[in-house]
Amino acid sequence: MHKFKVLPFFASLGRKINTKTLKFSLCFRLMFFFAVISAIVWGIAGYISYKETRESIDEFFDTYQLALSRQLAAADWSAVSQKTQHATDKLIEKIENADDDDDAIGFAIFSREGKMVFHDDENGKYFPLNTSAFGTFVNEKLPQNDDKWRLIRLSSADGKYIITVGQELEYREDLAMDIVEEFLAPWLFGFFFLLFSIAALTYFEFRPLKKLATSINNRSADDLSPINTDKAPVEVKPLIDAMNHMFQKITNLLQRERSFISDSAHELRTPLTALKIQLEIAQMADDDASMRQQALDKLQKGIERAERLVEQLLALSRLEANNGHYDNIEPLNWAEISSHLIDEYQLMIKNKTLLLDVKDDALPPFATGNHILAALLIRNLLDNAVKYSPDNALITLQLSHGEFSVINSDTVVDEAILQRLTERFFRPAGQKETGSGLGLAIAQRIVELYNCQLTFANADKGFVVTVKPKS
């Protein structure tokens, strides 16, 4: 039954196969590179085996030729006649399969005068007499069939005859190839079997990935729960952990967006209601110019407040999106940015008789960044300091030891409130100043973008807000 389970793999592969699929298929690339590497290794192993086998065969048959030559050289050929040649030929003919390996060996006996005295009746009768190649192995072509033979020529023990023993080189070649084929054929069969096994195992082992894809595909749009990794393969767990981490980030983002939308709708309802009331009062004023003007003044302030709230909401929305518009590419001059912002607050400062003292004697928390974000950060901190400081207080913008601080003298914030200052739309009870409760939340988000932190503390010199790098 198990052998039929691999059929869906090949059926599916046949239906879906195309160039692009094969290019990006891990299964196909695994089998392809395995086949290529195995073929290369198999070819190299075959070549090495052939060379080693051929050397061994050459050594064996060279030794055999030498031994046969010595035996023939020790014989007495003086009594050999043509009759002896015919008699021995008939004896060989009666032996079964005597002609099967007629290229295995051959020999011929020559007299010193060049007359052939005796031969093996198969190949030796074609051997030429070559006295120049004497006492060594030579490779020669026979004149009758143009085949290449390996010959050795020795003198007989009595010195009257020349012994020639030879073997066709093609026989050695064929024998070496046969041995290599017999050696490599099982490996070749095993290679295809192994390739088939890898294909089947890959199909089975990749099923968890297919189940994972199916599970994710069948999820509802709002289901961002973590994927269970208990039965996941070790190699796939890092991918699943990364996906779970991404799900968590998306969940947090959606929660922030929902909270942002809900809080924004709630906060916008109050100024819009106030605007509507002041508009109705202005409409009901009729000829009462004083009432109409008072309503229009409040309407103008309400519009300014709503405008400020919308600007803060848009700034916070862009910061939450973090869509790449705030690349850290500009060198920032904190003293210059602070100086420009102080000019904007001169009228408010004058009305409240506040003092500003800007000090610049060290590196800032971050030296490069987006100029708009840096200005927005300092503006929000300065805006809170100006609004919520008592009259005649000293507001100090201080840059030292890699930290940027805004210090409000004669100001103390309740410890319970300190923990909630960066919450969106949070405004302590009893505040007379208008605001959206988003300034410090925006400042907190900006410093997080630059790997910094925003701290609040009551000190001897007053209430201190500090921007500094994370430790």
pLDDT, greater one: 315 or 44: 44
Provide the pLDDT confidence category of residue 186 given band limits of 50, 70 and 90.
confident
Q: What is the pLDDT of residue 4?
A: 45
Q: At what angle do helices 169-205 and 7-16 cross, to 10 degrees?
A: 90
What is the predicted pLDDT for the residue at 14? 52
Q: Computed from CA positions of residues 282, 285, 288, 291, in that sequence, does the dihedral angle turn out positive or negative?
A: negative
Q: Is 205 helix (H, G, I), strand (E, B) or coil?
A: helix
| Mean pLDDT within 158-182 | 88
Measured CA to CA, the distance from residue 116 to residue 127 in angstroms comes to 9
- Where do the DSSP E strands lie in 131-253? 137-141, 148-155, 161-168
pLDDT for position 127: 86
- Asked if 169 and 150 touch (Cβ cutoff 8 Å), the reply is yes
**What ranges do the domains of the chain cover?**
1-205, 237-312, 327-469
Q: Is the pLDDT of residue 2 over 50?
A: no
Q: Distance between CA 199 and CA 9 in Å, rounded? A: 8
Q: Which residue has the higher pLDDT, 18 or 93?
A: 93
Q: What is the domain class of 237-312 according to CATH?
A: mainly alpha
The alpha carbon of residue 108 and the mean position of all alpha carbons in its chain are separated, in whole angstroms, by 72
More confident call, 96 vs 49: 49
Residue of higher predicted confidence among 148 and 91 = 148
Q: What backbone phi and psi angles, to 5 degrees, belong to 357?
A: -135, 110
Calculate mean pLDDT across residues 309-317: 66
In the predicted model, is pLDDT for residue 428 greater than 70? no
Mean pLDDT lowest for which of 79-93, 128-142, 190-204, 311-325? 311-325
Hey, which residues does 162 pair with through a beta bridge? Answer: 110, 155
CA distances from 404 to 295, 366, 423 (A): 42, 10, 21
CATH number 3.30.450 given to 1-205: yes
CATH of domain 327-469: 3.30.565.10
**Which pLDDT does position 436 carry in this prediction?**
61
d(C-alpha 448, C-alpha 441), whole Å: 11
Say how far apart CA 68 and CA 153 lie, in whole Å. 11
The answer on pLDDT for 190 being more than 60 is yes
Q: Is pLDDT above 80 for 327?
A: no
Is 62 a residue whose pLDDT tops 70?
Answer: yes
Short-list 456, 436, 460, 458, CA closest to 447: 456
Q: Are 411 and 462 in contact (CB under 8 A)?
A: yes
Residue 469: half-sphere exposure toward Cβ, Cα within 13 Å: 9
Q: DSSP for 396-463, please give it.
A: EEEEETTEEEEEETT----HHHHTTTTSTT---TT--S---S-HHHHHHHHHHHTTEEEEEEEETTEE
The answer to whether the predicted template modeling score (pTM) of the entire model surpasses 0.95 is: no
